Structure 1
Amino acid sequence: MRKTAFLALIVLIFSLSLNAFTLGDLGEFKFEKANDNVYIMHGPEEEPSKKNEGFMNNPALIESQNGLIVIDPGGNYNVGKKVLAEIEKVSKKPIIAIFNTHKHGDHWFANKSIKEKYPDVPIYALTYMIEQVKDNAADTWYGILDRLTGNLEGTKPFTFPSQGVENRQTVVVDGQTFIMRHYAKGHTDTDILIEHVNSNTLFIGDNLITNRFGAFDESSSIVENIKLLEKIKNQEDGFKKYTLYVPGHGPSSGEISKTIDPFLNYLNIIVAGAKKAYENDIPSYEIKSEVHEELKAYHSWDAYEGQMGKHLMKAYSEIEMLDF
């Protein structure tokens, strides 16, 4: 009898291993308990590619008494299926709500995988974000991710968020309280930061990224992103000390020095370099090598070579506009 039970256990473990969310030499990805009833799956810290199948964000899971709440389930239908399988390893409770932090498809295209199984699940996002993705932002990101990953099959038609929220709005789902925070510009103009009151967790979205770099598009502001991170760090404008800070990409932590500071310091160095170039009436590329030397701690971050110069140009243009 004992031998039979042991063999059954071995079969179960082997079965779970076969069904694990695995991305080649990038390893296995699963939800791990990060804070009270909060679980995070930390995605690969790199740009979207065929290798990572377009998965590189941090899906989050909050377990309530009667169900599960998901934040940013991932970047396509196929990834969403794998994320959903990992969710079901944490709990068999139904998914009762989804939150999307901003318009970029690498965070919300996987809505479709969850909605397929739970057709009545409400999906929350900033009202303006919903307008943007229904206009052209979804198609723009579909084109980007399809070109880079080749893994968008099944993602269309898009599953858009269905419930618009606004700045400072409180949303309660099965006893779990979430406070929305929106600023006109930061990583994009459609971001919500989500404070989960029950666990004292702050989900910052792509306003905070660690170990990799992404683009700042036309709707973003490096200067305003800095102001936002400083407000979080200094506990201003209603922010407080949180037990856990969750970035859109990169490791989560309860320590400011490990979460907020690295990206904030990077942005401050970029802006300082851009200001110096502007004040000396020289183009940003002429100061790039000097800024590069100041950014030695970031040379190993994914996409540094491709993004740093663009960030410097973006900061320069913002400083120029502020001068007018």
Structure 2
Amino acid sequence: MKKATIIASIAMLFSISLNAFTLGNLGEFKFEKMNQNVYVMHGPETEPSKENEGFMNNPAVIESANGLIVIDPGGNYNVGKKILAEIEKLSSKPIIAIFNTHKHGDHWFANKNIKEKYPEVPIYALTYMIEQVKDNAAETWYGILDRLTGNLEGTKPFTFPSDGIENKQTVVVDGETFVMRHYSKGHTDTDILIEHTNSNTLFIGDNLITNRFGAFDESSSIIENIKVLEKIKNQEDGFKQYALYVPGHGQSSSEISETVDPFLKYLKIVLEGAQKAYDEGMASYEIKPEVDENLKDYHSWDAYEGQMGKHLIKAYSEVEMLDF
């Protein structure tokens, strides 16, 4: 009996190793079936680093009758090899389409891995996103990720998205229906939120992040990001209750309170602090201790110390601009 148990345990461990890859001390990463034909690999909830090799987003795969559709395949060529290998463990079907949710390279630089194997695969992204990455956004993100991870070798030349899409456009791939939503600003000015109607799943991209913080660049808006998340939460502008909510970073969930609410609450607290400081003639740094106290539930999120103050400054500048 003991021998059988040992053999079973070894078999289980071997099975796990065949279905995951490891990054330093961050653990194993593999695709999990989350909803009907939807699989998500939840990347490390950390900023880009040498330890995570530049991988921290949530690549997703939708299995159709005849192929696989990938959303945000990852952030560089080297990790892209590992992610592609995990995709191929899900099914022997070919990859027949890719979607990129926005211009930041940590989500789409691994397009290259898939395009090398499937040269005819269409890569969908907002038309304006394609213009931006071909202009300078790709080089900007390459510089950021290369400096922080040292793991961008092989990523160039970039594999840009090929097929432009627009707000409220519907794309059907092998019987799988995807509805696009774009707002002029949010996490960036190039975001698409993707509703997969077959499985009732909403891919929110980096308009939603949990357990870690990232930067808001010059094309982003904290105020508009809040509005997008409130539309989702309140089921406005065509949004509804979904069976699965997938953030750009952090854990997916069927419960909106577990996914949307935490980041939305964080952004609202930051904005309320910025508004109070502006109304009372204070600088953003003067209100920071009070905001920090109000955000004690978020102190454990990755990069809180490095990002919260920047978010407060950003929110303050947006409040100020509304007064002009």
TM-score range relative to shorter protein: over 0.9
TM-score (norm 2): 0.95
Distance of 1:11 and 1:187 partners within structure 2: 44
> Would the alpha carbon gap of residues 288 and 256 (structure 1) be closer, same or farther in structure 2, given more than 3 Å must change?
same
Q: Deviations over 1:162-198 (max 9, x none)?
A: 0000000000000000000000000000000000000
The SS at the match of 2:106 is helix
Distance of 1:131 and 1:44 partners within structure 2: 29
Aligned-residue offset at 1:256: 1.1
CA contact (8 A) 2:19 2:30 kept: no
Distance of 2:194 and 2:172 partners within structure 1: 12
CA contact (8 A) 2:46 2:56 kept: yes
Specify the alignment match of 2:137 in structure 1: 137
* One-letter code aligned to 2:149: T
Specify the alignment match of 1:208 in structure 2: 208
Distance of 2:127 and 2:18 partners within structure 1: 40
Q: Deviations over 1:97-150 (max 9, x none)?
A: 000000000000000001011000000000000000000000000000000000
List aligned pairs for 1:101-116, cutoff 5 A.
101-116=101-116
Distance of 1:18 and 1:254 partners within structure 2: 28
The SS at the match of 2:96 is strand
Specify the alignment match of 1:149 in structure 2: 149
* One-letter code aligned to 1:235: Q
Unaligned 5+ residue runs, structure 1?
Answer: 1-6
Q: Deviations over 1:68-105 (max 9, x none)?
A: 00000000001111000000111110000000000000
Specify the alignment match of 1:315 in structure 2: 315
* One-letter code aligned to 1:76: N
The SS at the match of 2:54 is coil
* One-letter code aligned to 2:154: G
Q: Deviations over 1:224-245 (max 9, x none)?
A: 0000000000000000000000
Aligned-residue offset at 1:17: 2.1
15-24 vs 228-237, greater mean Cα deviation: 15-24
* One-letter code aligned to 1:184: S
Specify the alignment match of 1:30 in structure 2: 30
Distance of 1:261 and 1:14 partners within structure 2: 38
Distance of 2:275 and 2:223 partners within structure 1: 11
Specify the alignment match of 1:3 in structure 2: none
Aligned-residue offset at 1:20: 3.5
Specify the alignment match of 1:271 in structure 2: 271
Distance of 2:263 and 2:69 partners within structure 1: 28
Q: Equivalent pairs: percent with the same residue?
A: 84
Specify the alignment match of 1:47 in structure 2: 47
Unaligned 5+ residue runs, structure 2?
Answer: 1-6
Distance of 2:179 and 2:91 partners within structure 1: 24
1:197 is aligned to 2:212: no
List aligned pairs for 1:212-291, cutoff 5 A.
212-291=212-291
Specify the alignment match of 2:73 in structure 1: 73
Q: Deviations over 1:244-264 (max 9, x none)?
A: 000000000011110000000
Distance of 2:264 and 2:300 partners within structure 1: 17
Distance of 2:95 and 2:243 partners within structure 1: 24
Distance of 1:12 and 1:94 partners within structure 2: 28
Distance of 2:294 and 2:72 partners within structure 1: 34
Residue correspondences, number: 317
Distance of 2:20 and 2:291 partners within structure 1: 42
Q: Deviations over 1:263-319 (max 9, x none)?
A: 000000000000000001111000100000000100000000000000000000000
Distance of 2:155 and 2:15 partners within structure 1: 27
Distance of 2:128 and 2:110 partners within structure 1: 20
The SS at the match of 1:167 is coil
